[in-house]
Amino acid sequence: MKKYYLLLLFSLFITSVFAQRTTTDTISSEKLKEDRTISISLPANYGKEKNKKYPLLLLMDGGYLFDAFTGALKYGNYWDDLPEVIVVGINQSRPYDRELDTEIDTETGLPIEKGAGFYDFIATELLPAIEKKYAVAPFKIIAGHDVTAAFLNLFLYKEVPLFDAYISMSPELAKEMDLRIPERLSAIKKPVFYYQSTADGDVKKIQDQIRKLDANIKTVQNSNLYYQFDELKNASHYSLVLYSIPKALYHIFGAYQPISSTEFQEKIVTLTSNYTDYLIKKYDIIEKSYGIKMPVRINDFTAIEAAILKNNAFAEFEILSGLAKKSYPKSMLSQYHMGMFYEKTGDFKKASKAYMNAYNLDAIGNLTKDFMLEKSEQMKY
């Protein structure tokens, strides 16, 4: 009985940690002349922060990709490696939905009949409806597997693509896609993320097409393109999905992640100056790339502090103090950095005063009132 209660408590803990609001909705489509069911997963904190917007991930094959993607996103967000994302999955589980939705002319390589209607449904009905109802950021991702992975590439053909990131898992490519996709990726004038995968156990015909496309994409010279290709080992046409999802998400949201030890050692501590500028630019990239505006993480402040100390660039503490005040105006972080600035430049009287000013503000991270009082007293001797 005791073991049962422990398992129950653990289950409740996991449920609360990864809580995500999931609902279903029906979109009445003029383009398809029918109703289509979608699943929506909203972040656990959705609506708690006024004006906060979230990247959108649109899944074809939502019937079996939805849980796999939402699970990976919840886990990554728990460790602050991935942002909160609105996930919308299109249900294509009815007989023949996938085949008809993704119908592409074998001669032109373009959508026809219901495939053309499905394309228009996504572009002119589904996306506008989601954007009207939910707080969607400008950054949009589309993902699919097999025939739906091939179909999503058609959105790249537009002069201004609808999506900013593409996750194409074992695509069954249509005619001339191996040439048209690299051509479009070469011409795109805004940042675009493109991920595709295959596996050693993939369908041979599909695998050959993907390798050819990969070789052609690798010839593209475009600084706006962020491309990753994975040929997975010991995976099949179906199991490669579970391997691909985290790789794709971490590729797309690489710039979002906190400063890692590798980033610190290879990109920050090796700088000769402008450590705070590096931090400012990092968060500017997050906002511009994903439409996510967020305060600088406390651990990222700590990393920059360590780089300043290691390189004796003490004057930068004053700049870091200004950034801390902007991010956490009621906390002691800004005054702590001012105290460090004065202490390391030899003005101990002003350092003592700054640490006492910090004492009167809110504790944050590892900074406590006791610590500030101790630092202030140390400056008097």
pLDDT at 19: 54
Question: In CATH, what number does 2-256 get?
Answer: 3.40.50.1820
For residue 22, the SS3 value is: strand
Whole-angstrom CA distances from 129 to 26, 122, 135 are 11, 10, 11
Tokens of 95: 């007989």
Span between the terminal Cα atoms of the chain, in Å: 61
Q: In what order do the strands lie in the sheet with 165-169?
A: 21-29, 34-42, 86-90, 54-59, 136-145, 165-169, 192-201, 225-236
Q: Which of 136, 138, 227 is nearest to 188 (CA)?
A: 227
Element of type H or E holding 235? strand 225-236
Complete DSSP assignment for 240-309: HHHHHHHHHHHHHTGGGSPPPHHHIIIIITT-SS-HHHHHHHHHHHHHHHH----PPPHHHHHHHHHHHH
Whole-angstrom CA distances from 84 to 15, 80, 233, 300 are 17, 9, 30, 19
For residue 312, the SS3 value is: coil
Cβ pair 319, 278 in contact under 8 A: no
Distance CA 174, CA 195 (A): 17
Cβ pair 170, 149 in contact under 8 A: yes
Cβ pair 38, 122 in contact under 8 A: no
Cβ pair 176, 94 in contact under 8 A: no
Domain boundaries, the chain: 2-256, 261-378
pLDDT at 20: 60
| Number of neighbouring beta carbons within 10 Å of residue 156 | 21
pLDDT at 32: 96
Q: Which of 362, 239, 248 is nearest to 298 (CA)?
A: 362
pLDDT at 119: 98
pLDDT tens-digit profile, the chain (381 residues): 444 343 333 344 444 444 568 999 999 999 999 999 999 999 999 989 888 999 999 999 999 999 999 999 999 999 999 999 999 999 998 888 999 999 999 999 999 999 999 999 999 999 999 999 999 999 999 999 999 999 999 999 998 999 999 999 999 999 999 999 999 999 999 999 999 999 999 999 999 999 999 999 999 999 999 999 999 999 999 999 999 999 999 999 999 999 999 999 999 999 999 999 999 999 999 999 999 999 999 999 999 999 999 999 999 999 999 999 999 999 999 999 999 999 999 999 999 999 999 999 999 999 999 999 999 999 987
Distance CA 303, CA 381 (A): 29
Within 13 A of 126's CA, how many CA atoms are on the CB side?
Answer: 31
Question: In CATH, what number does 261-378 get?
Answer: 1.25.40.10
Distance CA 82, CA 245 (A): 12
Distance CA 109, CA 88 (A): 27
Complete DSSP assignment for 347-365: -HHHHHHHHHHHHTSB-BT
